[in-house]
Structure formats: structure tokens, C-alpha cells
Amino acid sequence: QKEVEQDPGPLSVPEGAIVSLNCTYSNSAFQYFMWYRQYSRKGPELLMYTYSSGNKEDGRFTAQVDKSSKYISLFIRDSQPSDSATYLCAMSTSGTYKYIFGTGTRLKVLA
């Protein structure tokens, strides 16, 4: 079993929909949680960076961390075709520099 599990998709939604992307993890020591967006043939772009549990909002994006369930989510409101990309979750433990990534979820927002 991988430390971080993420459904690879693809996930197809109509323009304007609310998108929910999720990751589960097994290592209870993870304290830092990141979401990256990766367009085809591009490098990952940092979207959200959160510490421990709770919510963080940035524009149309909301990140949620539920450490008791070992579950993190990224919500995208009013999704746009330009949001079509692969979304990667990443995590790390305190006092380290290694990120452990999920496999990524491919999202398609249909116009």
C-alpha cells in the first residue's frame, strides 16, 4: 500500500461545477499538506500549502485537512476549462524536506 493514495481519474465535470479532489494517507506523522496543479508537459505549480488540520481558502480554491481521518481535499468552485490539468497532493512530516506525492488526479472541465 502506498503512503498516499489518490484516484487517478479522469474526472470530467461541466464548466461551473464544484470539483472535489481527495487524497488519503497512512502516515499519521504527516503535518504539511500541499496541492499542486500540473498541466500537460509542464512542471507542478503550487496551489495550496497548509499545516495540520483545518481549512484554507484562496480564491476559488479551498483546501481541507482532516487528520483524524487521514484525508485531505481540494475544492474548486466555479470550475473553468482552464482548470483542466492533473492535480497532485503532496505531504511531508515535520522536520523533513521530502514530499511524498500522490499519483495525481486528471481533471477535465468541459465547456
Partner 1 sequence: GAGVSQSPRYKVAKRGQDVALRCDPISGHVSLFWYQQALGQGPEFLTYFQNEAQLDKSGLPSDRFFAERPEGSVSTLKIQRTQQEDSAVYLCASSFAQGLNTEAFFGQGTRLTVV
The residues binding partner 1 (CB under 8 A) are 4, 6, 8, 31-32, 34, 36, 41-46, 49, 51, 88, 90, 92, 94-104
What is the number of helices (H) and of strands (E) in the chain? 0, 11
Q: Tell me the sheet residues that pair with 14.
A: 110
Question: Smallest distance from the beta carbon of 7 to partner 1, in angstroms?
Answer: 13
Nearer to partner 1, 97 or 111 (CB): 97
Sign of CA dihedral 54, 78, 48, 7: positive
Nearer to partner 1, 49 or 61 (CB): 49
Question: Smallest distance from the beta carbon of 15 to partner 1, in angstroms?
Answer: 26
Selection from 73, 81, 46, 74 nearest residue 60 by Cα: 74
Nearer to partner 1, 34 or 76 (CB): 34
Nearer to partner 1, 8 or 16 (CB): 8
Residue 28, classed as helix, strand or coil, is coil
CB-based contacts of 101: which residues, under 8 Å, 6+ apart? 4, 36, 88, 89, 90
Question: Smallest distance from the beta carbon of 102 to partner 1, in angstroms?
Answer: 5
